[in-house]
Structure 1
Amino acid sequence: MQHTVPQEPGGVLILAGTPIGDVADASPRLRQTLREADLIAAEDTRRLQGLLQRLELVTTARVVSYFEGNEAARTPELLAELGAGQRVVLVTDAGMPSVSDPGYRLVAACVAAGIRVTAVPGPSAVLTALAVSGLPVDRFTFEGFLPRKGGERSRRLRKLATEERTMVFFEAPHRLAEFLTDAAAALGADRPAAVCRELTKTYEEVRRGGLAELAGWAVGGARGEITVVIAGATPLEADPAAAVEEVQELIAAGTKLKPAVAEVAERTGVARNALYQAVLDARRG
């Protein structure tokens, strides 16, 4: 006897991952989801039409735009459609919606309204770049696009100088050389990294090397979609005696005891409570 799965009441938001380059990566489930949608919200409706043509798909779904500039206004409209029981599919230009792309605002609104959210998994530039980078991938952090202004970008990179996990960034090709130069200054010229360009496309390229070396290469110009993977910092061996001296120097320069201990503990890896007690003991001694 054949059993059918009952349809859930109410609408459903489906985050559909689209190919990041090679259209052959489109899954059968993505094709089915696009065919059966009631409404498709696309970051770029022209890109969506191009994808449908390449997939030789026809859909009766109504298509609307959903991008950074109209997210705030469009989200209530999509919530109303979902509340009316519509099957709404969200697609971006490439990869998974809401991952450094439009989608988070709508997902959060659906969760708050009790509307079901699911996904059709698809290609990801983040995971693909990690996989081919040759760098450790057991632990990583996704940093997306850093600030465009050089000063703000450098400050963010300095904060990541002690990050021990492999880091993944997106960057525009015309800013790549500046980004890598700033990263070399903040993280070290020899810090291993990989620049992944045009992943899964015809002219895919992965350049591996130290940050300074890659910055020199990028000065010649790079084109296409860029994902940068940078190795994490080598863990520092804690030196309690040196940490106590650092705290004492900060105090001598005018920093209060607790803030000085907190700053040095974070930078050196020495346990805060143990460092605080060691400083007190040094004072008594």
Structure 2
Amino acid sequence: MSTLYIVATPIGNLEDLTLRAVRVLGEVPVVVAEDTRVTRKILDHIDSSSKIVSFHRRSTKSDVHRIVRHLDNGDIALVSDAGTPGVNDPGQAIVAAAVALGHDVVPLPGASSIMAALSVSGLYVDQFISHGFLPATGGKRRRLLNAVAQEPAASVFFETPHRLRDALVDMAAVMPVRGLVICRELTKLHEEIWRGMAAEALDHFDSPRGEFAIVVAPLERGEAAASSISEDDASEVINSAAAALRNRYESRRDLVEAVAKKTGLPRRQVYQTLHREG
């Protein structure tokens, strides 16, 4: 039987193409791709003359069978426009069909915007959930974000520049004190890694450009309990604790730590409340 190679491609910087990927993409006669124009640039960069066959989200079951038949004649490769095939792209249908026919499927690991965003987040992410692109409509987006707000694991989203601010408005309403790491144009010339909360992000990204990956911090200890009480009640608890402890601490940072420990509320929420109250 033949081999279907699952080849990760760069998410923005061609130097991230692995040596193994260069070799395989130069050897296989056929490369299955989402956008043939994008993949042609990669193949031209490595002087590969492999034939490119298109497969995308609008492709049909007959297209799957047509593509898998190429394995009857030898090994082929599957690529994504950017990143790892089969993750937030239609490539899994090709993989499933190849497996069903008894062909070998071999991964060639490489770039992944999800893993890149998590790796620079500075967050503890032994568990995470990838949601792909946030829903375009407000109601669906808010329902998903409400679920994420109760999720103890970190979450990762993709967002487009023209929808970013709408998403941040919803995040500010649903999870106002949850930490975010917003990665713009990962591995590209204008790469930016921004950290803060949704309301702060709205001030920073006033005219969004580029592609965005958003990491939502995992739920802090005590944050789940905080979500069950109103903001006014939480503010009262925080201010009461701060009044009792203020004379013991010279720095605002130490006071925030002490109040968070005493109340069981997140440090971020304590800081915001005390900052707001002056």
Write the deviation string for residues 13-59 of structure 1: whole angstroms up to 9, x where unpaired. Answer: 1110001111111111111111111211111111111112233x122
1:58 matches 2:48: yes
Tell whether the 8 Å contact from 1:11 to 1:81 is kept in structure 2 after alignment: no
Tell whether the 8 Å contact from 1:177 to 1:216 is kept in structure 2 after alignment: no
What is the TM-score with the length of structure 1 in the denominator?
0.75
Write the deviation string for residues 101-141 of structure 1: whole angstroms up to 9, x where unpaired. Answer: 12111112222222211111111110111111222222211
| 4+ residue segments displaced more than 6 Å | none
1:225 matches 2:220: no
Residue of 145, 157, 180 corresponding to 2:133: 145
Rounded to whole Å, the distance in 2 between the matches of 1:171 and 1:237 is: 25
Residue of 28, 32, 35 corresponding to 2:26: 35
Q: Which residue of the partner structure matches residue 205 of structure 1?
A: 192
Tell whether the 8 Å contact from 1:130 to 1:229 is kept in structure 2 after alignment: yes
Rounded to whole Å, the distance in 2 between the matches of 1:176 and 1:238 is: 26
Q: Which residue of the partner structure matches residue 81 of structure 1?
A: 70
Write the deviation string for residues 234-263 of structure 1: whole angstroms up to 9, x where unpaired. Answer: 345999xx9xxxxxxxxxxxxxxxxxxxxx
Tell whether the 8 Å contact from 2:125 to 2:218 is kept in structure 1 after alignment: no
Rounded to whole Å, the distance in 2 between the matches of 1:197 and 1:138 is: 23
Rounded to whole Å, the distance in 1 between the matches of 2:45 and 2:209 is: 23
1:135 matches 2:126: no
Q: Matched residue of 2:89: which SS?
A: coil
Tell whether the 8 Å contact from 2:9 to 2:79 is kept in structure 1 after alignment: yes
Matches within 5 A, 1:270-285: none
* Deviation for aligned residue 1:216: 3.1
Write the deviation string for residues 141-191 of structure 1: whole angstroms up to 9, x where unpaired. Answer: 1111121111011011111221111111111111111112112222x2121
Q: Matched residue of 1:160: which SS?
A: helix
Rounded to whole Å, the distance in 1 between the matches of 2:112 and 2:181 is: 16
Tell whether the 8 Å contact from 2:150 to 2:224 is kept in structure 1 after alignment: no
Unaligned runs of 5+ in 1: 1-9, 243-285
| Structure (1 or 2) with the larger CA radius of gyration | 1
Tell whether the 8 Å contact from 1:71 to 1:105 is kept in structure 2 after alignment: no
* Deviation for aligned residue 1:201: 0.9
Rounded to whole Å, the distance in 1 between the matches of 2:77 and 2:192 is: 32
Tell whether the 8 Å contact from 1:193 to 1:211 is kept in structure 2 after alignment: yes
Q: How many residues end up aligned between the 2 structures? A: 226
1:72 matches 2:61: yes
What letter corresponds to residue 144 of structure 2 in structure 1? R
Rounded to whole Å, the distance in 2 between the matches of 1:24 and 1:143 is: 27
CA RMSD of aligned residues (A): 1.9
Q: Relative to 1, partners in 2 of residues 1:159 and 1:238: Cα closer, same or farther, differing over 3 Å?
A: closer
What letter corresponds to residue 48 of structure 2 in structure 1? V
Identity %: 40
1:234 matches 2:224: no
Matches within 5 A, 1:174-193: 174-186=162-174, 188-193=175-180
What letter corresponds to residue 52 of structure 2 in structure 1? V
Q: Which residue of the partner structure matches residue 85 of structure 2?
A: 97
1:24 matches 2:12: no
Q: Matched residue of 2:11: which SS?
A: coil
Rounded to whole Å, the distance in 1 between the matches of 2:149 and 2:215 is: 14
Q: Matched residue of 1:228: which SS?
A: strand
Q: Relative to 1, partners in 2 of residues 1:17 and 1:205: Cα closer, same or farther, differing over 3 Å?
A: same
Q: Matched residue of 1:169: which SS?
A: strand
